[in-house]
Chain A
């Protein structure tokens, strides 16, 4: 049985590991390579590393940092941040990364998705859509760390990504980022219904039960979380955690059963 993926999402800012709230106020939570080592020990399903400076400052992907991640990581790794060309994507895959995530650059120039798919294969191209709720309903895609509105709906962008050859779409709720009150399930459902690619959902998970609710809603899905795996307790003390294998198995099985055969 193919299992939902429980993904630890790490944000990198000025060389350190941080966690944001609604895409703002990066709080330093530790050394990124050390975090990878802990997730190795805990046998996390997958790791997503997003360099939040690279896009905002227009910097090139930090090859040194990425190779350190790739060398240390014993689980599948997805890297995003500052990737603007197929050449860069190829280089990153060559460093030992399984998947390259693109966002702003792909939304500005969707041909980039096809170019990267051509260079490294569709299975390694992830399009990240940062989505913000619109006042009158629906979700709009934003870029540049949530600072630039695109005017495009999340479902349209997801479809476009699929058409151009993406292998996965990650939908990241700006409103729910760091809030730890649960995923935006309606947003997740919207993207799930729009495309037939694997999707991952990020933003809002505050408990293992929240991961379960997403799985019950979307079936085999990537349930990604940042805060949940780096903070502990009401005072948000930094402590890296990840569900133990038996706990994860139970979470997946009980909630997949709810998702039913249609998923």
Chain B
């Protein structure tokens, strides 16, 4: 069963709708008790890094989510800022991240490219770094909707699951063991996004 961690950020409804259409059972967790029985976690998020961490901490779900992901190895998919908080830290704020994937989050602004319009907004190509179950059927010609000004910089090249180009080739998806993150919004990316969310359900 897919459990969407609703700590107050992100488009919970949109995920629910996708899974409803796919006939995949999906619930929403708003407190620790709701996480019982979760076999897949979706960690959404929009807005600022520190705000996301604050809300996740305040939700009372931080510890059980940690346990599910780190001890029970339940597959988790972080989305947008939900991916960025998988890192140890972000240039955007001062709060420590979850630190599940080695890396930190940088601003596109720090690339020093004056010609780059920010935020990175719209549909961009996503190229999987290697064949992976999450990107099954999305090996070529996949594009997704992005809306962000910061990006994940992995410390280990093997954690980069996919790249996209905007001023630089950045990690548009990360992956380490049972932990996955995507910078784009699969819930708003038409059939490409539906395919990816279906793949996640079937991991």
Evaluate contact between A123 and B13: CB separation under 8 angstroms: no
Query: What residues on B are CB-neighbors of A98 within 8 Å?
Result: 11, 147, 185, 188
The segment out of B34-42, B71-79, B115-123, B155-163 that lies at the interface is B115-123
Chain B residue at minimum C-beta to C-beta distance from A120: B47
Residue A71 CB within 8 A of the other chain: yes
Question: What residues on B are CB-neighbors of A75 within 8 Å?
Answer: 145, 188, 190
Contact call A1/B17, Cβ cutoff below 8 A: no
Asked if B69 lies at the interface with its beta carbon under 8 angstroms from chain A, I say no
Complex Cα spacing A67 to B146, Å: 22
B147 and A70 contacting across the interface, CB-CB below 8 Å: no
> With a CB–CB cut-off of 8 A, which chain B residues contact A40?
190
Q: Helix, strand, loop or mixed for chain B's interface?
A: mixed
Contacts of A70 in B (CB 8 A): 11, 13-14
Q: How many Å from the CB of B147 to the closest CB on chain A? A: 5
Residue interface bits A148-172, CB-to-B below 8 A is 1, else 0: 0000000000000000000110000
Q: Categorize the interface residue count of chain A.
A: 35 or more
A49, CB-defined interface residue at 8 Å: no
Contact call A5/B122, Cβ cutoff below 8 A: yes
Q: In the complex, which residues of chain B have a beta carbon less than 8 angstroms from the beta carbon of A262?
A: 115
B48 within 8 A of A: yes
Contact (Cβ within 8 A) A76 B185 = yes
Q: Mark A65-80, 1 if CB is under 8 A from B, else 0.
A: 0010011011111000
CB-CB contacts below 8 Å: B104-123 with A: 114-123
Specify which chain A residues have a CB less than 8 angstroms from the CB of B14 in the assembled complex.
70, 73-74, 96
Contact A168 B149 (CB under 8 A): no
Q: Are B117 and A197 in contact (CB under 8 A)?
A: yes
**B143 near A: Cβ within 8 Å?**
yes
Q: Bound complex: CA of A167 vs CA of B47, how far in Å?
A: 12
Q: Which residues of A contact B143 (CB under 8 A)?
A: 3
Instruction: State whether A74 touches B190 (Cβ < 8 A).
Output: yes
Distance in angstroms between the alpha carbons of A197 and B119 in the assembled complex? 7
Residues A89-139 near B (CB distance < 8 A) = 93, 95-96, 98-99, 120-124
User: Does B130 make an interface contact (CB < 8 A)?
Assistant: no
Is there contact, CB below 8 Å, between B147 and A196?
Answer: no
Confirm or deny: B124 has a beta carbon within 8 angstroms of a beta carbon on chain A.
yes
Q: Are A167 and B121 in contact (CB under 8 A)?
A: yes
Cβ contact within 8 Å between B124 and A2: yes
- CB distance A71 to B47 under 8 Å? no
- B12/A96 in contact, CB under 8 A: yes
Q: Which of B114, B121, B124, B147 contacts A1 (CB 8 A)?
A: B124
Determine which residue in A5, A121, A197 has the highest number of CB atoms from chain B within 10 A of its CB, and name it: A121
Using Cβ atoms and an 8 Å threshold, which residues of chain A touch B117?
196-198, 220
12 further contact pairs, Cβ within 8 A, besides A2-B165, A5-B123: A2-B124, A70-B14, A71-B13, A74-B190, A76-B145, A76-B188, A96-B11, A122-B119, A124-B46, A124-B147, A197-B118, A198-B117
Could you list 9 examples of A-B contacts with CB < 8 Å? A1-B124, A2-B165, A2-B166, A5-B121, A121-B48, A123-B148, A167-B147, A196-B117, A197-B119
| 8 nearest A-B pairs in the assembled complex, by CB-CB distance | A121-B47, A96-B13, A123-B119, A96-B11, A43-B190, A198-B121, A2-B124, A76-B188
